[in-house]
Amino acid sequence: MTSELEAFPPVPVDVTVRFAETDMMGVVHHSAYIVWFEMGRIGWMDAAGVPYTQISGAGYNFAVTEVGAQYRSAIRFGDPVQVITRLTTLRSRQVAFEYEVRHRCEDVLYATGFSRHICVDDDGRSVSIPGWVSDGLRVGAQTFGNR
The predicted-structure confidence for 40-71, as pLDDT tens digits, reads as follows 999 999 988 899 999 999 999 999 999 999 99
Range of the domain at 58: 11-145
Which stretches of 28-139 are assigned E, i.e. beta strand? Answer: 60-71, 80-90, 94-103, 109-121
**Number of residues that make up the chain:** 147
Q: How many domains does the chain have?
A: 1
Residue 136: CB atoms within 10 Å: 19
Q: Quick check: is 5 in a domain? A: no
pTM: 0.89
Q: Quick check: is 119 in a domain? A: yes
- Please report, for the domain that includes residue 75, its CATH number: 3.10.129.10
- Pair 109, 73: CB distance under 8 Å: yes
The predicted-structure confidence for 86-132, as pLDDT tens digits, reads as follows 999 999 999 999 999 999 999 999 999 999 999 999 999 999 999 99
101: nearest Cα among 40, 42, 48, 45:
40
